[in-house]
């Protein structure tokens, strides 16, 4: 007897392994077994009839700033460049406190669940008050969501030639001590963990060279992952040359980050030789399609990077740059950008799905357990819903149909074998109350109340 069997689904177990009319058995937080229509199914306490829908591994979001959903579509910032956008919003973000971070993380995760995501990292790099990451972990645990908190940091304010105001930056000792505290308290390296911690200085514009080095050393010492923004904007080339006397990727290498411990957000402007060097070093990247397009920058050449052996995952980014937080949307965005760049034969829905699952899991150093549904993997499963109307006529390829029609969202989601979405509805008590409080906090932060 197992806990759950989801049957009558087109099951995507992993890259190159699909089972039409298949089933998946979940037990003890793990994928217990998978099978086809002719294979005997284990008896189960809970049976879910997927009604022929597509079933995939839960999508993995590897770059996000959930607190930004408190300032989504903020009118004074929406038409600025990346730097104008940041400098308009920093003073608002300086008002963040534990309650604001708890609420925005809760809302961010709920939204991600509906978009078919079952694991997310989050990059919280403004720390006007202490214990904000603690509030994030608390929200993720209340929901039962798989979460990699990344301890972001900024040391260089406008006073030192950086972009952010003084209230949101911290000194190096404070950052390193809090990073150690968070790793000791929340990082769970054990198999099947729901909470892990990574270290994540924000970007070369906002942190000192020495905090980049000491963070890399700390990560090595505690065996946790490293994350930052890299080569997101052309302005970075100029800044890097002026401040560090080299190109961004050279700087990244110089501070000891070019290793398989690191994954970087965006990575748009690497040269061909730099791409090869980072791929060879085992660095992986997160493409953020919607964010790149809405801020009108360029975007990573994901298929070329994958061709070099670099893992490329996907991220919602934002929320105040992208404003949406649907990993389905990002997966479709990746497909559209890839094909727009290299032609219709260059990328398939399965390539995009691979980025959103296996690619993301590799970003997080977690591909032994998530991003696929081989027996023994974490029981992180999504059954997808599209409107019957928009799926009408899509009869020949359920994976292409999933990404080409839509919009699609989770019809059923399990994280660690626990059902969090049922028939399209979030199984979260008190969401209305959270949204009411979120609105009050967002109103105050935006100075509207
Ligand atoms: Zn970002």
* Domain assignment of residue 370, yes or no: no
Model confidence pLDDT, tens digit, residues 426-439: 999 899 999 999 99
Please give the average per-residue pLDDT across 85-91, as a whole number: 91
Put residue 99 in one of left, alpha, beta given phi > 0 → left and psi -120 to 50 → alpha. Answer: alpha
Please give the average per-residue pLDDT across 361-381, as a whole number: 98
Strands (E) in 113-201, as ranges, are: 117-124, 146-153, 195-201
Please give the average per-residue pLDDT across 2-16, as a whole number: 98
* Domain assignment of residue 446, yes or no: no
Q: Is the pTM above the cut of 0.85?
A: yes
* Domain assignment of residue 441, yes or no: no
**pLDDT score at 320:** 64
The CATH number covering residue 262 comes to 3.20.20.140
* Domain assignment of residue 369, yes or no: no
How far does residue 403's CA lie from ligand 1's centre (Å)?
A: 24
Beta bridge partners of 7: 49
* Domain assignment of residue 69, yes or no: yes
Residue 71 has pLDDT above 70, yes or no: yes
* Domain assignment of residue 243, yes or no: yes
Distance CA 367, CA 344 (A): 29
How far does residue 31's CA lie from ligand 1's centre (Å)?
A: 32
CA angle 377, 111, 194 (to 5 degrees): 35
How far does residue 281's CA lie from ligand 1's centre (Å)?
A: 22
- Tell me which residue of 112, 5, 11 sits closest to 53, measured CA to CA: 11
**pLDDT score at 129:** 96
How far does residue 120's CA lie from ligand 1's centre (Å)?
A: 14
Q: Are residues 241 and 260 in the same domain?
A: yes
Beta bridge partners of 23: 35
Q: What contacts 66, CB < 8 A, 6 or more positions away?
A: 104, 105, 107, 108, 109, 122, 124, 136, 319, 325
- Tell me which residue of 383, 390, 445 sits closest to 420, measured CA to CA: 383
Write out the residue range of the structural domain in which residue 294 sits. Answer: 59-363
How far does residue 230's CA lie from ligand 1's centre (Å)?
A: 10
Distance CA 401, CA 412 (A): 18
Q: Are residues 144 and 110 in the same domain?
A: yes
Q: Which two tokens stand for residue 422?
A: 């049922």
How far does residue 203's CA lie from ligand 1's centre (Å)?
A: 9
Q: Are residues 164 and 265 in the same domain?
A: yes
- Tell me which residue of 359, 226, 235 sits closest to 298, measured CA to CA: 235
Please give the average per-residue pLDDT across 92-117, as a whole number: 97
**pLDDT score at 227:** 98
Q: What contacts 307, CB < 8 A, 6 or more positions away?
A: none
Q: Which two tokens stand for residue 306?
A: 């994958």
Model confidence pLDDT, tens digit, residues 254-312: 999 999 999 999 999 999 999 999 999 999 999 999 999 988 889 999 999 999 999 99
Q: Are residues 393 and 353 in the same domain?
A: no
CB 4 within 8 A of CB 414: yes
How far does residue 197's CA lie from ligand 1's centre (Å)?
A: 17
Model confidence pLDDT, tens digit, residues 407-421: 999 999 999 999 999
CB 207 within 8 A of CB 153: yes
Strands (E) in 185-225, as ranges, are: 195-201
Q: Are residues 345 and 416 in the same domain?
A: no
The CATH number covering residue 404 comes to 2.30.40.10
Q: Which residue has the tokens 């919280």?
A: 124
Model confidence pLDDT, tens digit, residues 26-50: 999 999 999 999 999 999 999 999 9
Report the percentage of the chain scoring pLDDT > 70.
100
Q: Are residues 130 and 9 in the same domain?
A: no
- pLDDT bin (cut points 50, 70, 90) of residue 91 is very high
Please give the average per-residue pLDDT across 66-75, as a whole number: 95
**pLDDT score at 76:** 93
Q: How many domains in the chain?
A: 2
Q: Are residues 231 and 354 in the same domain?
A: yes
How far does residue 300's CA lie from ligand 1's centre (Å)?
A: 14
Q: Are residues 144 and 121 in the same domain?
A: yes
Report the percentage of the chain scoring pLDDT > 90.
90
Residue 359 has pLDDT above 70, yes or no: yes
How far does residue 288's CA lie from ligand 1's centre (Å)?
A: 9
Residue 236 has pLDDT above 80, yes or no: yes
Residue 239 has pLDDT above 70, yes or no: yes
Q: Are residues 258 and 321 in the same domain?
A: yes
Distance CA 338, CA 212 (A): 32
**pLDDT score at 122:** 98
Q: Are residues 64 and 173 in the same domain?
A: yes
* Domain assignment of residue 440, yes or no: no
- pLDDT bin (cut points 50, 70, 90) of residue 319 is low
How far does residue 368's CA lie from ligand 1's centre (Å)?
A: 26
Q: Which two tokens stand for residue 396?
A: 């020949």
Q: Are residues 131 and 260 in the same domain?
A: yes
Number of Cβ within 10 Å of residue 52's Cβ equals 11
Q: Are residues 70 and 47 in the same domain?
A: no
* Domain assignment of residue 301, yes or no: yes
Backbone angles phi, psi at 282, to 5 degrees: 90, 10
How far does residue 427's CA lie from ligand 1's centre (Å)?
A: 29
């Amino acid at each position: 007897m197992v806990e759950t069997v989801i049957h009558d689904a087109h099951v995507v177990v992993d890259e190159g392994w699909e089972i039409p009319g298949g089933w998946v058995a979940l037990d003890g937080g793990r994928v217990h077994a998978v099978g086809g229509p002719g294979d005997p199914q284990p008896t189960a306490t809970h049976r879910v009839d997927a009604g022929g829908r597509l079933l995939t591994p839960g999508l993995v979001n590897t770059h996000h700033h959930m607190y930004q959903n408190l300032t989504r579509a903020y009118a004074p910032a929406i038409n600025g460049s990346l730097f104008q956008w940041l400098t308009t919003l920093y003073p608002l973000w300086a008002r963040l406190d534990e309650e604001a971070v708890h609420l925005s993380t809760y809302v961010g995760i709920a939204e991600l669940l509906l978009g078919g995501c079952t694991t997310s990292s989050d990059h919280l790099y403004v720390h006007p008050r202490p214990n904000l990451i603690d509030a994030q972990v608390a929200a993720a645990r209340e929901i039962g969501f798989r979460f990699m908190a990344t301890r972001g940091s900024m040391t260089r304010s406008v006073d030192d030639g950086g972009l952010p105001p003084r209230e949101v930056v911290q000194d190096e000792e404070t950052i390193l001590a809090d990073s150690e505290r968070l790793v000791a308290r929340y990082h769970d390296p054990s198999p099947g963990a729901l909470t892990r911690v990574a270290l994540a200085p924000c970007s070369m514009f906002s942190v000192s060279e020495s905090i980049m080095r000491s963070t890399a050393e700390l990560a090595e010492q505690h065996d946790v992952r490293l994350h930052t923004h890299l080569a997101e904007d052309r302005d970075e080339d100029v800044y890097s040359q002026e401040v560090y006397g080299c190109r961004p990727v050279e700087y990244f290498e110089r501070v000891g980050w070019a290793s398989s411990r690191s994954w970087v957000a965006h990575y748009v402007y690497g040269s061909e030789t730099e791409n090869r060097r980072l791929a060879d070093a085992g660095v992986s990247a997160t493409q953020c399609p919607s964010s790149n397009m809405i801020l009108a920058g360029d975007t990573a050449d994901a298929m070329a990077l994958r061709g070099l052996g670099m893992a490329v995952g996907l991220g919602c980014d934002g929320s105040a740059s992208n404003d949406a937080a649907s990993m389905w949307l990002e997966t479709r965005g990746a497909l559209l950008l890839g094909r727009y760049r290299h032609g219709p034969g260059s990328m398939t829905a399965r390539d995009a799905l691979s980025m959103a699952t296996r690619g993301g899991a590799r970003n997080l150093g977690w591909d032994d357990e998530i991003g696929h549904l081989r027996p023994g993997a974490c029981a992180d499963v999504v059954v997808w819903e599209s409107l019957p109307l928009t799926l009408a006529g899509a009869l020949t390829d359920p994976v292409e149909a999933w990404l080409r029609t839509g919009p699609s969202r989770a019809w059923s989601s399990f994280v660690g074998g626990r059902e969090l979405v049922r028939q399209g509805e979030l199984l979260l008590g008190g969401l209305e109350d959270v949204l009411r409080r979120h609105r009050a906090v967002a109103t105050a932060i935006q100075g509207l109340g």
